[in-house]
Amino acid sequence: MVKSQKDVFWKAAILTIAVFSLGMFIGYSFERGRVFEIEEDYNIMKLRQIDANLQTLYYNNMVIQDSKFCEVAIDENIKFADELYEEGVKIERYLNANKITKDLLINQKEYILFKTQFWLNAISLKKKCYADYVNVVYFYKQKSEDFDVNTDQNVMSGMLFEIKQGYGPEIMLIPLAVDLNISTIDIVVNQYNITEYPALLINEETVMQGLHNKNEIIEEIDKFL
């Protein structure tokens, strides 16, 4: 009786290996799928970014006669800012979910560089076109081990999204991770003496460090509108 039943051991092993491998494959496929999705978005964003750079070069080197140019340029930049922001949120969520592949980290760095460049574009465009939107730069730590910092940042992300929904095109929201070894951001952080996270830089003038009440943030933004 016993001898005839011992085959269940290797049959169970084969079944386990098959199902486990299938599960790993499905999990890996999910993760790769996310990476491909982000890479595809990235290619589109890259072209948009080149376009935005060309625009900046254009209005830096040309005398702008037609005010319509500014309207179009500002509109395009606001749309681009919103897309960059949503893409950043997507990457963060996927990074937290992916357990095998961490390829998204590279994409994330590239997006941060995009956003930094975009921010500088936004400053130039403001000056050239006398635009009245407010730049809100949100500094956060991508790899913090601190529970309070992580929950504060989680809340701040949601809060800024809510504020952005309220203000629409009147604010440009630019989230920048400060711990990905991007030297430009290190320079900005040092210049504004930012030591606590999350932090906001409003219109390149006002710094708010740590988690603040939504109404306090709105108050500071309103000073520039």
CB of 115 to another protein, least distance (A): 21
Nearest of 119, 148, 169, 134 to residue 211 by alpha carbon: 148
Distance (Å, whole) CA 98 – CA 112:
20
What is the chain's length? 225
CB of 53 to another protein, least distance (A): 32
Q: Could you tell me how far CA 144 lies from the centroid of its own chain?
A: 16
36 counts as binding another protein under rule CB under 8 A = no
CB of 97 to another protein, least distance (A): 4
Structure tokens at 82: 């919103």
Q: Could you tell me how far CA 29 lies from the centroid of its own chain?
A: 24
Binder of another protein out of 44, 57, 100, 225 (CB under 8 A): 100
- Residue 219, helix vs strand vs coil: helix
Taking contact as CB under 8 A, which single stretch among the options 36-44, 62-70, 106-114, 206-214 is the one that binds another protein? 206-214
99 counts as binding another protein under rule CB under 8 A = yes
93 counts as binding another protein under rule CB under 8 A = yes
152 counts as binding another protein under rule CB under 8 A = yes
CB of 189 to another protein, least distance (A): 23
Distance (Å, whole) CA 157 – CA 167:
15
Distance (Å, whole) CA 128 – CA 81:
18
Binder of another protein out of 142, 144, 154, 184 (CB under 8 A): 154
Binder of another protein out of 30, 69, 192, 224 (CB under 8 A): 30
Structure tokens at 71: 């309207």
Distance (Å, whole) CA 109 – CA 139:
14
210 counts as binding another protein under rule CB under 8 A = no
Distance (Å, whole) CA 184 – CA 99:
30
Binder of another protein out of 1, 43, 61, 66 (CB under 8 A): 1
6 counts as binding another protein under rule CB under 8 A = yes
Sheet holding 171-177, edge to edge: 171-177, 134-140, 199-202, 206-209
Count of C-beta atoms within a 10 Å radius of residue 37: 14
CB of 161 to another protein, least distance (A): 7
214 counts as binding another protein under rule CB under 8 A = yes
162 counts as binding another protein under rule CB under 8 A = yes
Residues at the site binding another protein, with contacts judged by CB under 8 A? 1-2, 5-6, 8-9, 11-13, 15-16, 19-20, 23-24, 26-27, 30-31, 93, 96-100, 147-148, 150-152, 154-155, 158-159, 161-162, 211-215
